[in-house]
Amino acid sequence: MTVFDDFLASSERFAAETAIPQRPAAPARHVAILACMDARIDVFRVLGLQLGDAHVIRNAGGRASDDVIRSLIVSTVLLQTREIVVMHHTNCGMQTSTNEEIHSRIVGVMGAAATEIDIDFLPFTDLDQSVRDDVGRIERSLYLGTDTVVNGCVYDVESGQLRPVSR
Cβ(102)–Cβ(114) below 8 Å? no
Please give the pLDDT value at position 110: 87
Which residues touch 57 (CB under 8 Å, ≥6 apart)?
A: 32, 33, 34, 35, 68, 71, 72
Please give the pLDDT value at position 152: 98
Please give the pLDDT value at position 39: 97
Express each pLDDT in 12-61 by its tens digit: 999 999 888 888 889 999 999 999 999 999 999 999 999 999 999 999 99
Domains of the chain are: 25-164 (3.40.1050.10)
How does DSSP assign 45-101, residue by residue? Answer: HHHT--TTSEEEEEEGGG---HHHHHHHHIIIIIS---EEEEEEETT-GGGS--HHH
Q: What does pTM read for this prediction?
A: 0.92
Write out residues in the chain with pLDDT < 70, as ranges.
none
Please give the pLDDT value at position 115: 76
